[in-house]
Amino acid sequence: MEIIQEKCRQAIALLNEQNIDCWITFVRETSAVHDPALDLILGFGLTWDSALIITRTGARIAIVGRFDAQSVRDMKAYDEVIAYDQGIAEVLKARITQLNPSNIALNFSLSDPGADGLTFGMYARFTQILAGTPYVNNIVSAEGIVRRLRERKTATELARVKTVVKLTEEVYAELFAMPLRGMSEIQIHALCGDLAIKRGCGFSWDRVDNPIVNAGPDSSIGHGIPSELILEPGQLLHLDFGLRLDGYSSDLQRMAYVPRPGETAVPEEITRAWKACWSALEAGRAALKPGVQAWQVDAAARSELVRHGYPEYMHAFGHHVGRNAHDGGSVLGPRWERYGDLPFKEIDPGSIFAIELGTMVAGYGYVGIEENVVVTPSGAEYLSQPQYELILLPS
């Protein structure tokens, strides 16, 4: 509850910073389509057409269906909770007219999925309801508010991410102490789930491919569903795992190698790739500072990996972690079409990122590194215990 009240107060400051009179998050039936901004400013779902209104002058108004009103009141983040029965149109229009804002920031964004919870149907409803008023001509995107609200973690938020990162590391430690050789990707995936659930954790993306498990060179890299492939000697085991506790997430990759009979060290090709990846990750982390543009961080890591003779990774170097594993906001990524304008945003202190990259090592499998960091005024510090060394599994 306090965390929601904290974020709502932070939102008021952001409205002032960005000269927005009124921010409206307009949603319905969030068990079907969930606006991720709700996690920041409400903490639970809503059923009928609902408007959460925060103004520059500090008013926090919720207009919700009758049956949601008490929960919203109990959260104590909104001073005024208006409950309706048959429809929201009249009361929403009246309340906005009373506020008379010179602009309204709505919950949509072209580039940022974390700030784009307004559906097209709800956008159409909103503009229908306000048709004929001046307000409908002064609608802007709320992405600047939502993004910064998400990025600028409070101390409470940082503490929660630290906790879930630590638990994820515990799960990994327990997992790697087990006899994994000879297990299938599906079995390792199941094991990871059990270890997480035992600690009271949920999953920060769909369980079906969380963790991603890659055993050996024939496994599908990316967001693949675990397969029947068996982890054999002479293979890399790569995992990408994200947990969630108290509404906050981790996203960490970890790796191990199963030696062949008689093999006492990791093969040279793997070590070379591992060192190159680490060098690139550290180059990116060194560039990750308040004020730089997000793409510059990616460029530092990307060019370092290429300098070592490896191909560019075909994704972004980093993404925010918080309410979700992919938390929206700026992207530490190349200036590709698919990232829209997110690589052009400036880094804010207080941001928590997952930074990651990797490369295939022919015959062995995928080498990937992913750590979680927090941006301080002087640079990026690890929240995770970085995996500097490959784990050698019993063969």
Which residues have C-beta within 8 Å of that of residue 212, sequence separation ≥ 6?
Answer: 222, 223, 224, 226, 238, 239, 240, 241
Min dist CB 271 to a copy of itself, Å, is 26
Q: What residues does 361 pair with on adjacent strands? A: 365
Min dist CB 82 to a copy of itself, Å, is 14
Question: In the complex with a copy of itself, which residue's Cβ is closer, 73 or 162?
Answer: 73
Question: In the complex with a copy of itself, which residue's Cβ is closer, 36 or 216?
Answer: 36
Question: In the complex with a copy of itself, which residue's Cβ is closer, 60 or 320?
Answer: 320
For a copy of itself, the binding residues (CB under 8 A) are: 28-29, 31-36, 43-45, 47-49, 65-71, 74, 84-89, 106, 108-114, 116-125, 204-206, 208-209, 220-225, 227, 314-315, 324-328, 336-338
Min dist CB 392 to a copy of itself, Å, is 28
Min dist CB 127 to a copy of itself, Å, is 10
Min dist CB 277 to a copy of itself, Å, is 17
Question: In the complex with a copy of itself, which residue's Cβ is closer, 73 or 272?
Answer: 73
Question: In the complex with a copy of itself, which residue's Cβ is closer, 100 or 133?
Answer: 133
Rounded Cα distance between 207 and 132, Å, is: 46
For residue 277, what is the enclosing H or E element?
Answer: helix 268-287
Sign of the dihedral defined by the CA atoms of residues 110, 111, 116, 121, in that order: positive
Which residues have C-beta within 8 Å of that of residue 216, sequence separation ≥ 6?
Answer: 229, 231, 232, 235, 236, 364, 365
Rounded Cα distance between 261 and 256, Å, is: 16
Question: In the complex with a copy of itself, which residue's Cβ is closer, 109 or 387?
Answer: 109
Q: Which two tokens stand for residue 92?
A: 């929403």
Min dist CB 91 to a copy of itself, Å, is 11
- State the DSSP string of 232-261: -TTEEEEEEE-EEETTEE--EEEEEEEPPT
